[in-house]
Amino acid sequence: MTRSLRRSARIAAQSALMMILISTPTLASAASGTPPRPKLGSAEYRLSWGVKASRATGVYRKGATGKGIVVAMIDTGVGPDAAGLFSDLSPHSIDLVPNRRFDTGDRRHGQQTASLLAAPVDGAGTFGIAYEATLLSIRADRDGSCLRTCAFDPPLLAKAIDYALDHGASVIGMPMASRRAIQAIEPALERAAKRGVVIVAAAGNDGDDQPVWPARYATDPRFASSMLVSGAATLQGRMAPWSNKAGATRSRYVVAPGEYVVVDCGERSCSLVSGTSYSVAYTAGAIALLLSRAPHLSGPQAASMLLQSADDLAERGTDHLTGRGRLNVGRAIRAVQEAKG
């Protein structure tokens, strides 16, 4: 059994964030038929601080928005009324538990991670790092488990990975944790790797020296070239002390925003949440940005570019604490352009 990775309960936003949110929404001007870009300095931009921290802001001017890239998030789903919350919610989004009976408790985790990935630029609340990516939401939590900690059973996780592959996903986010290997998903992971689909898995929230599973599969040669492990960074750009370290996955590990990121914005306030689950959304979105800007890249090539372009956080080069370092999407895009040119 695996569980969802939320370190903290929803935290009321500080007054400064509330003041930002009630400012008048503004959008960057765009040509007719062209989606708007986030307006620097707007309330929406400031609330979406993880985008700037990932060095993604400049890539939108180069046409990298995630458009045309399907990203599957295996989580607790986004709810039946969520279509308007995303630029492109796949019609194949699904709840893999038929006739779910106990749809109660706090299961907003799936909608929160999805919003950090693919919420639109609309001048309200926050936007996702790959705001034009196609979100394939796959709900796979055990019926009734979210009354406590949302749990995911291995056979359903395997089914979810295969469902993502069957419906065109180029990237699959797995924001969940297990203390032991999950043998039931290994054949599905192998199929994903053979197709060049990138799996982004959460490092874990216990401050341990090694990531949890399925992230630990990034050390397995069957899957390693298609796997990324995502640790959590703070607003100040440092590694969150509670985030599991890179350990044996150091060559496939990056750090992305994951502490006190902004979600669930209403008319006057937002919530702050923390966890490596949320960093998964930024890392998966970064792959979508690379693939949308450079469609000639394979998934493993895009993952490699992202790893090579990360900013050092601890020792120079790859280290056992922060792996390859902090996510830097802008540098990765520049590296792709230089390689072509």
- At 34 the pLDDT is 61
pLDDT, residue 267, reads 85
In the three-class reduction of DSSP (H, G, I as helix; E, B as strand; rest coil), residue 181 is classed as coil
Those residues of the chain that have pLDDT short of 50 are 8-32
Residues paired with 2 in a beta bridge? 152
75 assigned to active site: yes
What's the pLDDT at 102? 83
Options 2.30.40.10, 3.60.60.10, 3.30.750.24, 3.40.50.200; CATH for 2-340 is 3.40.50.200
Confidence at residue 339, expressed as pLDDT on a 0 to 100 scale = 77
For this structure, is 92 an active site residue? no
pLDDT confidence of residue 8: 43
Q: Where are the beta strands (DSSP E) in the chain?
A: 2-4, 11-12, 70-75, 94-95, 134-139, 151-152, 171-174, 176-177, 198-202, 227-233, 253-257, 261-263, 271-273
Active-site hit among 4, 48, 109, 271: 109
Alpha-carbon distance 187 to 217, whole Å? 12
Q: Catalytic residue at 103?
A: no
Tens-digit pLDDT profile for residues 51-105: 999 999 999 999 999 999 999 999 999 977 777 889 899 999 999 998 898 877 6
From 4, 42, 75, 137, the catalytic residue: 75
The reported pTM is 0.92
- Active-site residue among 4, 93, 230, 277? 277
Structure tokens, 160: 């979810």
